[in-house]
């Protein structure tokens, strides 16, 4: 039997008593899936996984995506992205975001496995977007319910994010070549979860450029409010990584922020994304 324990009052739960490397019953996986929809972030400590085992776990939630940057994936596993930071490559994901929201069909979820962690720092923060939406006043909810925002990879990988560009170039990737094949996409500011039916803010600071149909000053003001609102402490769980941790989170329900406070120490993570659908 597994034990499901909340890790904060805001979001997330730890699954205790489950060795992901071993076969599990359908009933056990159904419990995990239900916990995923209920808690949005699931933590599995003390795992010892191969990339193939991590992939099989991710596939319990849906098909695994192949990222566009194949040169920074695990050998033999083009779906598994390597996130490696050290003294030569500082961390860069220290912006609130939901993964790849600049895609027409962003990932449903992300599965991150800790291979090497720094002695101190390198935490990841998760903010509950269902809770963030629910705590808005009714007039603001009404306003946001009718709005759409433009998400653009050209912002996240563009000139405003030089650390991202440097990281890619050091690994033989030309960010401008990648961006030449991308186009902005339109997503609702408030999306409805396709399984639970719950509403959540769908805002991604690293990707959103503006809100459609608003004037530039209006868009800027609304985005500034959202940037601040989603960071409220009462929405957040802070995960302190240990080697062997596997964490899966629902990109439809949470945003995350990777704290870049461990330079020059090393941090190595393996990431898988699960296919999603178009936000509505």
| pLDDT score for 24 | 93
The encoded tokens of residue 210 equal: 């503006």
Averaged pLDDT for residues 78-99: 92
Largest CA distance in the chain: 55
Alpha helices in the chain (DSSP H): 26-39, 51-58, 129-134, 138-145, 153-156, 162-170, 175-179, 216-229
Across the range 175-193, mean pLDDT stands at 92
Neighbours of 160 (CB within 10 A): 12
DSSP state of 195: T
Q: Which of 62-71, 241-250, 267-276 has the lowest mean pLDDT?
A: 62-71
Q: Which two tokens stand for residue 38?
A: 């209920």
Pairing of strands 77-85, 73-74: antiparallel
Which has more pLDDT, 248 or 69?
248
Tell which CATH classification among 3.50.50.60, 3.30.1280.10, 3.60.130.10, 3.30.750.24 matches the domain 3-274.
3.60.130.10
Residue among 136, 126, 71, 139 at smallest CA distance from 99: 126
For residue 136, the model assigns a pLDDT of 98
Residue 3 pairs in a beta bridge with: 16
The pLDDT value recorded for residue 173 is 86
Cis ω before 83 (30° cut-off from 0): no
The C-alpha R_g of the chain, in whole angstroms, comes to 18
Q: Does the pLDDT of residue 130 top 80, yes or no? A: yes
* 174/198: higher pLDDT: 198
pLDDT band at 181, cuts 50/70/90?
confident
**Active site members:** 97, 99, 256, 271
Does 266 score more than 80 pLDDT?
A: yes
- The arithmetic mean of pLDDT across residues 233-258, rounded, is 98
- Partnered with residue 84 across adjacent β-strands are 268
Query: Average pLDDT of 264-273?
Result: 97
Specify whether the CB–CB gap between 205 and 102 falls below 8 A: no
* Cα gap 32→217, rounded to integer Å: 44
**C-alpha of 143 from chain center:** 26
pLDDT at residue number 69: 86
Is residue 270 a contact partner of residue 49, using CB atoms and an 8 Å limit? Answer: no
What's the rounded Cα separation, in Å, for the pair 43 and 273? Answer: 16
Query: Cα(121)–Cα(260) distance, rounded to whole angstroms?
Result: 8
User: What is the residue extent of each domain of the chain?
Assistant: 3-274
189-241: per-residue pLDDT in tens? 999 999 999 999 999 999 999 999 999 999 999 999 999 999 999 999 999 99
The burial of 122, by beta-carbon neighbours within 10 Å (0-12 exposed, 13-18 middle, 19 or more buried), is given as buried
Q: What is the mean pLDDT of the chain?
A: 95
Give the span between the Cα atoms of 37 and 60, in whole angstroms: 13
String of DSSP letters for 152-184: -HHHHTSTT-HHHHHHHHHTT--HHHHHTT---
Q: What is the pTM of this model?
A: 0.95
* pLDDT computed for residue 254 by the predictor: 98
103 pLDDT band (50/70/90 cuts)?
very high
User: For 66, which DSSP code?
Assistant: P
Kindly indicate the confidence band of residue 161, based on its pLDDT and cuts at 50, 70 and 90: confident
Structure tokens at 164: 């991202």
pLDDT at 154: 87
């Amino acid at each position: 039997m597994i034990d499901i324990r909340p890790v904060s009052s805001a979001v997330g739960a730890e699954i205790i008593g489950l060795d992901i490397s071993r076969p599990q019953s359908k009933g056990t996986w159904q419990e995990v899936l239900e916990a995923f929809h209920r808690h949005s972030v699931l933590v599995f400590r003390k795992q010892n996984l191969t990339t193939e085992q991590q992939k099989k776990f991710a596939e319990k939630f849906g098909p695994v995506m192949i990222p566009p940057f194949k040169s920074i994936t695990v050998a033999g596993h083009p779906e598994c992205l390597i996130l490696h930071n050290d003294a030569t490559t500082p961390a860069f994901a220290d912006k609130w975001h939901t993964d790849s929201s600049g895609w027409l069909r962003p990932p449903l979820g992300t599965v991150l496995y800790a291979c090497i962690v720094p002695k101190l720092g390198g935490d990841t923060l998760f903010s509950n977007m269902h809770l963030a939406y629910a705590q808005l006043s009714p007039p603001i909810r009404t306003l946001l319910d009718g709005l759409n925002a433009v998400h653009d990879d050209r912002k996240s990988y563009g000139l405003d994010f030089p650390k991202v560009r440097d990281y890619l170039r050091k690994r033989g990737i030309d960010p401008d070549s990648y961006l030449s094949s991308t186009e902005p996409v339109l997503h609702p500011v408030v999306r409805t979860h396709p399984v639970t039916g719950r509403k959540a803010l769908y805002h991604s600071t690293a990707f959103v450029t503006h809100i459609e149909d608003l004037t530039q000053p209006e868009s800027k003001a609304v985005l500034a409010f959202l940037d601040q609102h989603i960071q409220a402490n009462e929405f957040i769980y802070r995960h302190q990584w240990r080697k062997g941790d596997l964490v899966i989170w629902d990109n439809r329900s949470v945003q995350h922020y990777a704290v870049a406070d461990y330079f020059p120490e090393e941090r190595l993570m393996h990431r898988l994304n699960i296919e999603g659908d178009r936000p509505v």
